[in-house]
Amino acid sequence: MTEVAIVATPDDGSCGVGTYAGDLRSYLDCDVEHVELHTNSTDPTHFARVAVSAGTTAADVVHVQHEYGLFGAKTLYWWVFFPLLWVSARLTSAPVVLTVHEVWDAETAGDSLRWLQLLYIRVVNLSITLVADHLVFLSETSESAFHTATPVAVQSTSRLPHGVNVGETKDVAPAEAKSTFGYEPSDTVVVEPGYVSRQKGVDVFVELADRFPDHEFLLAGGPRQAADEAFVSDLRDRSPPNVQITGVLNDDDFHDAFRAADLVVLPYRKNGQSGVFNWCAAYSLPVAGSSCDYFERVAAEWGCMQLFNPSDLDDTESVTRTLLHDDEQRRALRERMSAFREANRFERVAAEHRSLYRELAERRAG
């Protein structure tokens, strides 16, 4: 049986990448070692130890679950992790798979010294291609963005769906879930679940709530990084009375947020894939989402969400109001979301990963 060492943050609710990796491990049905990368660590020796531990493992394959922010501000500690993993993996001949959970590209760069930011993005992405023998992308959007923002052609890649973890859903009545957050069963609750950040358009969600004073709006999450704490604090100060910002939730309350939702609104500014959207699929929820590239592709293929322009609050309000008042349209979205869920269950995703691991292990042995 193939053995794999998965480098990822813990599956304790502190990081979406860690939750994804935990879900994947639970479905893999092969020997798996979890090489834990601490969430929000600023200790360079920790990144060094993890890199060497992963690279010198006895496993057949090393699989890194990568997101730039896991390695500190400006992905600083990647420059500790990457060379040590590269060297140690080459010494043991262990193939390295790297799953790309987000992509830095031209849209990531700001206006200040933009040319330097773009150069840094290209160098970081180049280093990813150097350490990885195989890259896994979770959507066509992410794959296309990475190729555009990387100065060399990437030879060995796969595109595997993020996966919908139906087995981890919670069977809680909506009324009980609403009570978790202090709502009455009769309240209409609009939810944006997940970590609170500018990229996820939570400021649009708060502005939208001001146009629906008779409905409750739940931002079910908090800041993942210290850099977002001031932003969230300002958001609280300017939120209307019908907005609740929960802070980071434990696992049970996180699932209650989905069960409490009459409608989910995801006003993301940029998105290559979405674990939150997949949880919406797991619960077959009606979703209104921004017209970012990934959601446009999902909506075009599955018809399971309604899109709006997050830069146009009138359009965002119009789509939201229509869904809140049209029971038949919400029912149709639930049915299409169920179809998306069944086609993207984690059992299928895990099977494709096992096949990839076997192929790489056999290539190494041969």
CB 319 within 8 A of CB 291: no
- For 303-341, how does the pLDDT look when each residue is reduced to its tens digit (9 = 90+)? 999 999 999 999 999 999 999 999 999 999 999 999 999
Do 317 and 209 lie in one domain? The reply is yes
Residue 32: pLDDT band by 50, 70, 90 thresholds? very high
pLDDT in tens, 168-178: 899 999 999 99
pLDDT at res. 271: 76
Q: List beta partners, residue 61.
A: 4
Q: Domain check: are 147 and 180 in the same one? A: no
CB count, 10 Å around CB of 106?
Answer: 13
Q: Which of 35, 112, 28, 117 is nearest to 68 (CA)?
A: 117
Instruction: Judge if 326 and 350 occupy the same domain.
Output: no
Find the CATH number of the domain harbouring 126: 3.40.50.2000
Same domain, 159 and 233: no
Secondary structure (3-state) at 158: strand
Q: Please give the tally of structural domains in the chain.
A: 2
217 and 73 fall within a common domain: no
Phi, psi dihedral angles at 306 (to 5 degrees)? -100, 140
Note whether 298 and 208 are same-domain residues: yes
Same domain for 229 and 151: no
Indicate if the pLDDT at residue 13 is higher than 80: no
- Res. 16 pLDDT band, cuts 50 70 90: confident
158 and 252 part of one domain: no
Do strands 243-245 and 263-266 pair parallel, antiparallel, or not at all (unpaired)?
A: unpaired
d(CA 293, CA 44): 35
* CA–CA gap between residue 8 and residue 11 (Å, rounded): 9
pLDDT in tens, 38-61: 988 999 999 999 999 999 999 999
Tell whether the model's pLDDT for residue 214 goes beyond 80.
yes
Q: Is residue 302 exposed (0-12), middle (13-18) or buried (19+ Cβ within 10 Å)?
A: middle
Asked if residue 180 and residue 104 are part of one domain, the reply reads no
Residue with tokens 């096949």: 355
Confidence of residue 99 (pLDDT cuts 50, 70, 90): very high
Closest CA to 162 of 312, 362, 348: 348
3-state SS, residue 308: strand
Structural domain that includes position 114:
3-163+345-365
Residues 10 and 144 in one domain: yes
Can you tell me the distance from the alpha carbon of 270 to that of 288, in angstroms, rounded to the nearest whole number? 15
Buried b (16+ CB within 10 A) or exposed e, 16-54: bbbbbbbbbbebbebebbebbbbbebeeeebbbebbbbb
Q: Rounded CA gap, 299 and 308, in Å?
A: 11
**Which value, in Å, is the radius of gyration of the alpha carbons in the chain?**
21
The Cα–Cα gap between 82 and 89 comes to: 11
Task: State the pTM of this model.
Answer: 0.83
Averaged over 244-259, what is the pLDDT?
93
Host H or E run for residue 96: strand 96-100
Same domain, 338 and 354: no
Q: In what helix (H) or strand (E) does residue 341 lie, and over which residues does it extend?
A: helix 327-343
Q: Are residues 85 and 48 in the same domain?
A: yes
